[in-house]
Amino acid sequence: MSQSIAKPGRGMTPAPDHPLAHRARRLALTLWRHRWLYLLLVPPLIYYLVFRYIPIYNAQIAFKDFFALKGVEGSPWVGFQHFETFFKSFYFNELIFNTIIFSSAKLVLGLPIAIILAIAIHESRFLFFRSLVQTMTYLPHFLSWVIMLGLLLALLSPSSGMINDAIKAVGGNPIPFLTSPAWFRQVVVGSDIWKDTGWSTILYLAALLGINPDLYEAAEVDGASRWRRIWHISLPGIIPVVVLVTLLRLGNILDAGFNQIFVLYSVPVYSVGDIIDTWVYRSGVLDFQFSLATAVGLFKGVIGLVLILVANQVAKRVAQQSLF
Amino acid sequence: MFKSFRRDELGFQLLINAFLLIVLLAIVIPLWRVIMTSFTPLDVYMKGGTPMFQLPWQWSLGAYEQLLTHPTFPRATLNSIIITLGGTALSLFLTIPLSYALSTRTLPGRRIIIALILFTFLFHVGLIPTYLLVAKTLGWSNNFLAVIVPPAVGVTNVLVMMRFFEGIPDEIKESARIDGANDLQVLWSIVLPLSKPIILTIGLFYAVYYWNEFFSPMLYLNDQNLQTLPVLLRSILIGQNFSEYVDVDVSQAASIESLKSAAVLLTMLPMVLVYPWIQRYFTKGTLLGGVKE
């Protein structure tokens, strides 16, 4: 790379020309000065164009009858027909309900456990034990859902799972947790909490560490008990983070955990386990209903965008902080 | 040690640490169970399933031996390694320049580009439009590129790295520019050496993603020779076609449960090995922004 590239404009006195021409020249100069940065931007921007924006362009088939032979452009327009099919279908309510029930159960049950865990870690004086707990509870976040399936089977398999062994030992009948409609939702929510609660405490721990230690000392001098200090200092200290996390999760409420459910579910539990994303996969990729599946995906995308923008606005108002 | 606590303090400490112990056991017991099952010899397993504890000299390596001596499991491991290394390299190749260019606040067009990138982060059109692009338009079925390229840039990783680059003092970069270095040279010889920790961390996060990814290899790689470790692991776990990945003639060496557990642990192993490096950085708070995802 040559360093001696001519630098136009250097040393030239700007001509007393039209202000607009002057500004254009200044802009050209700034662009030229940053030419290497623009060069760096070329590969990532091509990536974004091809792999993020062409799919958005392809999403027009939601309003078309897509035929593979005719391609995205050549397929005939049909308006909102596929959206109507989806709204009127028998699975519409089921998919929306399942999606929201999974997201909200994970949030409502997981959040208090995460807060309690964060406070317990923060308060524990046994430093080695404390970091051992942190290390072990963060670990599952990095395990894939296929590995999680292996761990769940080790606990829940009717033939050899640890929990079913215990049930059999006390004379009960083994329960097929993963294939039973009565148990599948509990398994999904429980395993999600098992996997990610530890990881989610990181944010709360950071907030707890950010609390001014003088507050605790002052409270101690005033004779406040441990519990009162947690209630009046620790909890208020992490509430902004709790609000932010909750808003973000509400903004993403239609993302119920595709990777998890896709790995864990099976035909017997479709009625209680099927979410929007798994349905889009099956109807699109397996049943070739590309347009219908795209319409459902687009519907979810638009609602999701609106929700996250609303959540962001609320976060700005309530916590004086934006999510992104 | 206990004497240093006030009276109400002792009870409090016992209570919260008991709670932490329960949480710890809830995490450790399933892992322990899988480890024990993988090492349980067939005859022990046949008599009474997996024992809670076995002495190391009672362990059997039969399950590991069976998986690793048949060509299928090593083949899938190799495929996963290729995808992980290739994917991580491509991700960094795209993420570092993008983050560096966008960390220059005076760059005209910076805000527009950030807005375009954030928009794709907030607005998803679902699986099918990408599937059509990758499988039909590009024709990448049974091609590792289908798994490597589409997810290559993660917005949160870009934002974290951008914030790190912004934190590098301008004076350092400026002094190099005065010496005649252009932006590429500043990035290569000044910024990158200062950014090794963040690059290692983001690289590990990408590597974890590629190693763990199950759905896209399942979707795009149908050829048996191209299947990745998570895809193979799932067929092992749900008990499909055992003859395809273990030698049936010698299958007396371990129970099917031991095979499943050994496969889980072998797939987990790289994650467990790199985990200390990942942990070193996320506890420092560098990655708090990235946690949002």
> What are the pLDDT digits (tens) for A81-109?
999 999 999 999 999 999 999 999 999 99
Pair B202, B53: CB distance under 8 Å: no
Report, as an integer, the average pLDDT of B154-178. Answer: 88
Å between A37 CA and nearest CA of chain B: 5
* pLDDT on residue A97: 96
Residue B54's pLDDT band (cuts 50, 70, 90): confident
Q: What residues contact B179, with CB distance under 8 A and at least 6 apart?
A: none
Residue B252's pLDDT band (cuts 50, 70, 90): low
Distances (CA, A) of B85 to A51, B150, B211, B216: 20, 15, 9, 16
Q: State chain B's mean pLDDT as an integer.
A: 88
Using the Cβ of B10 and the Cβ atoms of chain A, whether some distance falls under 8 Å is answered with no
Query: Between these two residues, B160 and A8, which has the higher pLDDT value?
Result: B160
Q: Which two tokens stand for residue B116?
A: 């375009």
Å between A286 CA and nearest CA of chain B: 10
Is CATH 1.10.3720.10 correct for B72-226+283-292?
A: yes
DSSP-derived 3-state class of residue B195: coil
Residue matched to tokens 């590995």: A147
First to last CA, chain A: 37
Nearest CA in chain A to B9: A226
- Cβ of B126 and A1 within 8 Å? no
Cα separation, B138 vs B37, whole angstroms: 44
pLDDT in tens, A287-315: 999 999 999 999 999 999 999 999 999 98
Residue B293's pLDDT band (cuts 50, 70, 90): very low
Å between A142 CA and nearest CA of chain B: 7
Cα separation, A311 vs A243, whole angstroms: 10
Of A129-138, B23-32, B51-60, B167-176, minimum mean pLDDT range: B51-60
* pLDDT on residue B4: 53
Is the pLDDT at B30 greater than 60? The verdict is: yes
Neighbours of B275 (CB within 10 A): 19
* pLDDT on residue B222: 94
Cα separation, B68 vs B75, whole angstroms: 10
Per cent of chain B over pLDDT 70 is 90
First to last CA, chain B: 41
Using a CB-CB cut-off of 8 Å, the residues of chain B touching A305 are 122-123
pLDDT in tens, A33-50: 889 999 999 999 999 999
Structural domain boundaries of chain B? 1-60, 72-226+283-292
* pLDDT on residue B255: 84
Q: Which of B125, B131, B218, B256 to mutate to test the interface with A (most CBs of A within 10 A)?
A: B125
* pLDDT on residue A5: 45
The model's pTM is: 0.90
Residue B260's pLDDT band (cuts 50, 70, 90): very high
How far is CA A258 from its chain centroid? Answer: 10
- Cβ of B261 and A124 within 8 Å? no
Å between A97 CA and nearest CA of chain B: 19
* pLDDT on residue B251: 54
Number of residue pairs across A and B with CB atoms under 8 Å? 270
Is the pLDDT at B287 greater than 50? The verdict is: no
* Stretches in chain A below the pLDDT threshold 50: 1-11
* pLDDT on residue A4: 44
Q: Which of A160, A203, A205, A217 to mutate to test the interface with B (most CBs of B within 10 A)?
A: A160
- Dihedral of CA B121/B127/B131/B133: which sign? negative
Using a CB-CB cut-off of 8 Å, the residues of chain A touching B137 are 54
DSSP-derived 3-state class of residue B91: helix
* pLDDT on residue B248: 62
Residue B283's pLDDT band (cuts 50, 70, 90): low
Tell me how long chain B is.
293
What is the complex's ipTM, to 2 decimals? 0.90
Neighbours of A12 (CB within 10 A): 9
Using the Cβ of B118 and the Cβ atoms of chain A, whether some distance falls under 8 Å is answered with yes
Write a three-state SS string for chain A.
CCCCCCCCCCCCCCCCCCHHHHHHHHHHHHHHHCHHHHHHHHHHHHHHHHHHHHHHHHHHHHHECCCCCCHHHHCCECCCHHHHHHHHCCHHHHHHHHHHHHHHHHHHHHHHHHHHHHHHHHHCCCHHHHHHHHHHHHHHHHCCHHHHHHHHHHHHCCCCCHHHHHHHHCCCCCCCHHHCCCCHHHHHHHHHHHHHHHHHHHHHHHHHHCCCHHHHHHHHHCCCCHHHHHHHHHHHHHHHHHHHHHHHHHHCCCCCCHHHHHHHCCHHHHHHHCCHHHHHHHHHHHCCCHHHHHHHHHHHHHHHHHHHHHHHHHHHHHHCCCCC
* pLDDT on residue B178: 84
B210 secondary structure, DSSP code = H
- From chain B residues 73-92, the ones with a CB under 8 A of any chain A CB are none
- Cβ of A305 and B122 within 8 Å? yes
- From chain B residues 174-203, the ones with a CB under 8 A of any chain A CB are 180-185, 187
Cα separation, B157 vs B199, whole angstroms: 10
Report, as an integer, the average pLDDT of B140-168. Answer: 94
Pair B23, A133: CB distance under 8 Å: yes
* pLDDT on residue A320: 76
Cα separation, A301 vs A295, whole angstroms: 10
Select from A262, A290, A291, A266 the least CA-distant residue to A276. Answer: A262
Q: What residues contact A199, with CB distance under 8 A and at least 6 apart?
A: A137, A138, A140, A141, B291
- Cβ of B211 and A144 within 8 Å? yes
Using a CB-CB cut-off of 8 Å, the residues of chain A touching B275 are 139, 142
Q: What residues contact B203, with CB distance under 8 A and at least 6 apart?
A: B88, B91, B92
Angle of helix A235-251 relative to helix A91-123, nearest 10 degrees, comes to: 160
Using a CB-CB cut-off of 8 Å, the residues of chain B touching A153 are 237, 260
